[in-house]
Amino acid sequence: MSNQIHPTAIIDPAAQLGQGNHIGAFAIIEADVVLGDNNQIAAHSVLKRGTRMGNANQIYEHAVIGGVPQDLKFTDHSVLTHVQLGNNNVLREYVSINRASKSGASTVLGDSNFMMANAHIGHDCKLGNNNTIVVSAGLAGHVTVEDKVFISGGVMIHQFCHIGSYAMLGGNAKITQDCLPYMITDGNPASVRGLNLVGLKRAGFSSQDIRTLKEAFRILFLREKDLDNNLRVLEQISHPQVTHLLNFIHRAKRSFHRAE
């Protein structure tokens, strides 16, 4: 299937396009862009050099993918870095994703992510699959987001933070530390408010899984103030989500947001 390209679109001859792509009016695709199949690239959107995109993505009007890192240390714009998008992502109007800041590195967006209007992903971020990022949320450089995270509107995430799977970040939250998986983190300053019960139920977690995570929350935040002792108690629970929670805590480099 051939590509459908509007006559006003500007596509560098050095760009590589697959099949079945729809390129809208005044869209710009620079050199060193690699595009898969069946992507929708809407009017006035820009795919800049170093962008690598899979299949069946929807890029809406005025989105800019692969822009130069907003990093004061990045002074040589000729250094080749990348943005890598997987498949079936939806990037709404004015979304921006910056390419990585070090030669050969990539900012990465996995599969089936939904980014609403004006959301921003900074350089060197790594996002997994099935995440939702709502209007005007912003991720600074080097942020890691696991899978099935819900980042509400206006959330600002500090560089190098790590957001765990099935977490929900409340609207306009100020995130300066890691956010635990399965939990709601909200406020300014942010704190853990409880389990992300709605998200867990929608994701198909069983009643027993949710009861076990409730018990893990109680042990971690309500049992006593000694975190090390609480973690030792959690280690006695044989459950895959609790194991993931423990591993996340042990890997936390910026510490993590706690309950009030």
Hey, which residues are catalytic here?
123-124, 141
Structure tokens at 84: 């890598």
185 φ, ψ to 5°? -120, 130
Task: List the strands of the sheet with 183-187, edge to edge.
Answer: 4-5, 22-23, 40-41, 58-59, 90-91, 114-115, 132-133, 150-151, 168-169, 183-187, 190-195
Furthest CA-CA distance within the chain: 66
Distance CA 91, CA 96 (A): 9
Beta-bridge partners for 183: 195
- Phi-psi map region of 148: left, alpha, beta (phi>0 left; psi -120 to 50 alpha): left
- Angle, CA 155 vertex, CA 70 and CA 170 arms, to 5°: 160
Pairing of strands 144-145, 162-163: parallel
What is the DSSP track for 154-217? T-EE-TT-EE-TT-EE-TT-EE-SBB-TTEEEEETTEEEEEE-HHHHHHTT--HHHHHHHHHHH
